[in-house]
Amino acid sequence: MTEEEFHNWVAAYIEIYSGKEEFDEFHPQYWAIEKFVDLEADSPEICWAAVLIILRNNPDERVLANLAAGPLEELIELHGNDFIDRIEKESRSSPLFRSMLQGVWETTDEVIWNRVLKARLDS
């Protein structure tokens, strides 16, 4: 993925969730949601980078809620052991990230989930 493709993806993800209207798979930016799904298993580093860039664009609550309950939650579920240290660090340095963690639902790994719960509270 080129840098331009990456930034187009991030922009499309923000755009689709920034609107107030409902959308379906025929929305012109729906591909951005599917891109996370396509990459989450085999390219978690790219997904992590996209989550952080989206967050740094200071998106609205709807974008944050969907980012938390979608890409971030899947990243934790599939690759929690590899990312929990970074998640904890980001939570300590970013109140917005820490707030976004509230939208992540429980994972199957109890140890990782307990660390996520603690990261939600750390400041």
Give pTM, 2 decimals: 0.91
Parent domain of 89: 3-121
pLDDT of 106-118, one tens digit each? Answer: 888 899 999 999 9
Per DSSP, the three-state class of 7 is helix
In the block, tokens 């929305």 appear at 27
Q: Is 36 exposed, middle or buried (0-12, 13-18, 19+ CB in 10 A)?
A: buried
Tokens of 99: 């707030």
Mean pLDDT for the stretch of residues 19-42: 88
Domain count, the chain: 1
Instruction: Say whether pLDDT at 68 is over 90.
Output: yes
Predicted local distance difference test score (pLDDT) of residue 96: 94
Predicted local distance difference test score (pLDDT) of residue 42: 95
pLDDT of 40-51, one tens digit each? Answer: 999 999 999 999
